[in-house]
Amino acid sequence: MIGTLEAGLRDFEAAGIAAGSFPVPDALTAIAKYQFRTLELGLHFHRSMLSWFQSLLREMKEEEGLA
């Protein structure tokens, strides 16, 4: 699960960088702004989930004496 979240996060970050390099026509500025905000939400979600699963894994390893 952690690997999947890390890969998804990398993909979202790369997509944001790529999308930010294209000029946006004035007529589409509001739409582009909304799309970038939803990308921010996706990034936040993936970072939060990744942090939670990493924490869970650390706790499980500590409980089993593996940490």
- Reported as a single tens digit per residue, the pLDDT across 19-54 is 889 999 999 999 999 999 999 999 999 999 999 999
Number of structural domains found in the chain: 1
- The residue type found at 10 is R
The C-alpha atoms of residue 39 and residue 56 are separated, in whole angstroms, by: 26
pTM of the model: 0.78
Confidence of residue 66 (pLDDT cuts 50, 70, 90): confident
Question: Are 10 and 55 contacting, i.e. CB atoms less than 8 angstroms apart?
Answer: no
* Structural domain boundaries, residue 17: 2-63
- The residue type found at 18 is A
The predicted pLDDT at position 65 comes to 86
What value does the mean pLDDT take over residues 48-67? 91
